[in-house]
Homo-oligomer: A and B are copies of this chain.
Amino acid sequence: MNIHELIRELREPAQSKIVFLVADGLGGLPLEPGGKTELETASTPNLDAAVRDGVCGLSTPVLPGITPGSGPGHLALFGYDPLEYRIGRGILEALGINFAVGPKDVAIRGNFCTLDASGKITDRRAGRPSNEKNAAAVAKLRTIKVPGVELFVEPVREHRFVLVIRGDGLGDAVNDTDPQAVGVPPLAAEGTDAASKKTADAVNRFVSQAVEVLKDQGAVNGVTLRGFARFPKIDKFQDVYGLKAAAIAVYPMYKGLARLVGMDILDPGQTVATQIATLRKVWNDYDFFFLHYKYTDSTGEDGNFPAKVQMIEKLDAAVPDILALKPDVFIVTGDHSTPSKMKSHSWHPVPTLILADTCRTDDVKHFNESSCLRGGLGHFQAQHLMLMAMAHASRLGKYGA
């Protein structure tokens, strides 16, 4: 049975509030066998206090051994099967620059390239233009019109931009036009079905006009397109859970992922303090709060173990302000692990805490990998965390009589 249908069937109204504090890339590794992880090294008195009253475990975002990107990692936390709901590359690129993609959109990753007089690619990245040059070229592309569709062109950085085509009945089964080689012209777009042929036709018209309007842009005189992706069909968070949800995230990608499932996207400023202030301000307006904390991931990606430790301690310091609001359910987890040792996302399971009045407490005393391993939640699938959140929030009735 589909879990979302089950939730729709069982869910019950309540006044309870759920806070999901998602520390991106939370889990780590010791630098040497037998050593301590970042979480085990950090001093986290507030999380440790919460852990003593709550219940802990380790969350598997997708499957054992599978390293998730941010998309699947967050979808799983929001209770969506990350193997069923796949978010295409173009959509993720658009989400990453905070473009509000919608159900009629096909989003595409664009690269500026350099073409010679015969139309062959001489530089697939157009000499990596400055962001200013990129913006100037994007301004030219924005003058292009193609009948029957709306076009949106957005700068990313250097040679990268996003193209969004909005229209009825557009498909995304279209090949990349980037030939992944120099000395050859960009490929024509071709669609493998009627809807995708429509997209391909619009794109080919866009590309031929692009060459015209970019004539005076020096090395930035061509474009290639990759990762055609339609807005995914996805159940809305509120329809599934009956929860009015607010996303309090600083970075565009995470706002975008929350927008994808229909959460309200707030503008919480740039710091944890302003995120908490935002939480406090809208506390009475929502049932569910997705707080995203980026820095446990970025320091892990940098391979900076002491910085990740510091960012964990900074996160810990924010916990009392959240708990002061008395959420009925307070969850701390991550979308995946990002061990400093690996300088990348990894497949290792993620330490997770549920604090609620209905927790069966375990004897976990510290919020870290080795302690959570022995916690009351055991190993569980991330996509089941929302079920437990709903249950602890008194929002799920009995299944069967």
Contact = CB atoms under 8 A, between A and B. Distances in A.
B33 A361 contact: yes
A4 interface: no
Contacts of A251: none
Most chain-B Cβ atoms within 10 A of its Cβ — which of A30, A35, A358, A361?
A: A361
A304 B344 CA distance: 49
Nearest to A95: B401
B68 A30 contact: no
A194 interface: no
A361 B400 contact: no
Interface string A379-396: 110001111111110001
Per DSSP, chain A at the interface is loop
A390 B29 CA distance: 18
Interface in A37-78: 37, 52-54, 58, 62-73
A357 to B, nearest CB: 9
Contact of A83 (B6, B37, B84, B377): B6
A54 to B, nearest CB: 8
Interface residues of A, number: 72
A136 interface: no
Given A3-B63, A10-B66, A64-B387, A89 B53 contact: no
A384 to B, nearest CB: 4
Copies of this protein in the assembly total 2
A358 B379 contact: no
Nearest to A1: B83
A280 interface: no
Given A83-B6, A361-B33, A401-B89, A347 B63 contact: no
A277 to B, nearest CB: 29
Given A6-B83, A378-B58, A379-B378, A63 B384 contact: yes
Given A53-B33, A92-B401, A378-B58, A67 B361 contact: no
Nearest to A61: B399
A398 interface: yes
Contacts of A398: 67-69, 344-345
A35 B342 CA distance: 40
A400 B68 contact: yes
Contacts of A86: 400
A376 B384 CA distance: 20
A359 interface: yes
Interface string A142-161: 00000000000000000000
A52 to B, nearest CB: 7
Nearest to A73: B400
Given A66-B6, A72-B400, A347-B388, A363 B370 contact: yes
B69 A399 contact: yes
B52 A396 contact: no
A1 B347 CA distance: 18
B361 A399 contact: no
7 contacts: A29-B358, A34-B361, A64-B387, A65-B388, A67-B396, A345-B398, A374-B374
